[in-house]
Amino acid sequence: MAVERLTIEGVRNLQAGALSPGPVINWLHGENGAGKTSVLEAIHLVGRGRSFRAARPGSVIQHGAEQLRVVVKRQDGVVLGVERSPEGWRGRIGGRDSQRISEFAAALPLVLIEPDSHRLVDGGPDRRRQYLDWQLFHVEPDYLEAWQRYARLLKQRNAALKSGARDAMLDALEAPMLPAAERLDTLRRQQVSLLEITVRRLLETIGIRLPGEVQLAYRRGFPVDETLADALRAQRDSDRERGFTQRGPHRADLALKVDGHPAAVELSRGQQKLLALALLLAQLHHLDQHGSQAPLLLLDDPVSELDRRHLESVLGWLAEQRFQTWVTATEPPDIEARLFHVEQGAVRPQQ
C-alpha cells in the first residue's frame, strides 16, 4: 500500500518533518551524507521493525534526542507509527497498540534493494532462507503459523538435547515437528519453482545477460534420500554432543546456479548484483500479484550500482508498475518522478 504521508522525528541527521510522496516513483537526491538513505531507513523501521544499516537500534536515534518517531499514513488512510528509544519500542496500527513486528510487516510490505544485496547470492544460507520466508509470509496465509510452530518445537528439542534427554523424550518432541516441517518444505518448494520462472522473465525484460541459464532449487536441510524422522534419529547422538538440531527446514537453502554451476562462484561481483536485483524484483512482483497489500520498493543508490543501460531498463519497468518506489541518488533523474532534494538532513519537495 502506497505511503500518502511520512513523518520523521529523531532519525539520524534528518530534520523533523513530513513528506507527501507520489504514488509511483519518488526520487531523493543530494550529496553523499545528506541523509537520503536515512529516509529509506525510517520507512524500513516501520515495515520491518529494525534498521537495515545498524545492528543497535540506539545508533539510529539522533544525537541529543531521547527517541525517534516515524509515522506512515497509507493511501487508504490507515496510520502506522513506531517510537524507539534505547530502552525499547512501542508501535500503533490504526489507532491501537501493537508490539508484533509481523503485524507491521503485513501492514507495510516492502522490498529493499541496496548495495549489499549481492550477499543474497554470495552470502550464507540464512539470507536466502529469510528471502523465502519473507516471500511466503506475505503470499501464503498459513505459512507463518507453520513456521512458528516448527520454530517453537525446534527450540524445545534443542533444550532437551542440551539437557541430555532420553530417546523417549525426543520421540515425543519430534512427532509434532514432522507435519510442520513438511508444510514448510512444500510451500517453499512451490514458491521456488514460481520464482525461477519470474526471475528468468525479468532477466530477459530488463536485458540482464548472464553466462548461462539461471536455476533455482530448494535444498530442504536434510538428505534427499531420508525422511526428516530418519534424519533426526540418525543425528541424535551428534546433536546431543553439539546441543542443537543439525538437520531440518531451519538448515534449508535456496541453491542459485548458472548452467549448473554455483552462482557465487560462476558470476563476477557485478553479475551477482544483477542476479540479486532480479531475485528481489521477482519477490516484489509476487508480493504485488499475490499479497494482500501492494508492496513498497526501497531502492538505495542504484546509479552507483548499475550501468546506464540496466538502470534505464529497471526504471522503465518500475514506471509501469502499480506499486510505490523510493529511490536515492546524487543527481535528479531523467524520468518522471516526485522529487525531493536532501541537504544536510533537510528533505524538501521540488516541483
The answer to whether residues 249 and 161 touch, using CB atoms and an 8 Å cutoff, is no
Query: What residues form the annotated binding site?
Result: 30-37
Within 10 Å of residue 24's Cβ, how many Cβ atoms? 18
Q: Which cell numbers in the block locate residue 267?
A: 558470476
The answer to whether residues 83 and 92 touch, using CB atoms and an 8 Å cutoff, is no
Q: Count H helices, E strands: the chain?
A: 12, 15
Query: What residues form the annotated binding site for ATP?
Result: 30-37
Q: Which cell numbers in the block locate residue 71?
A: 509515522
The answer to whether residues 351 and 21 touch, using CB atoms and an 8 Å cutoff, is no
- Grid cell 538502470 is found at 311
| Cα 6-84-104 angle, rounded to 5 deg | 60
**Which of helix, strand or coil describes residue 324?**
strand
The span from the CA of 350 to the CA of 152, in Å, is 50
What is the bridge-based pairing of β-strands 25-29 and 338-343? parallel
The span from the CA of 80 to the CA of 304, in Å, is 32
The span from the CA of 25 to the CA of 288, in Å, is 16
The span from the CA of 271 to the CA of 124, in Å, is 18
- Grid cell 529494525 is found at 50
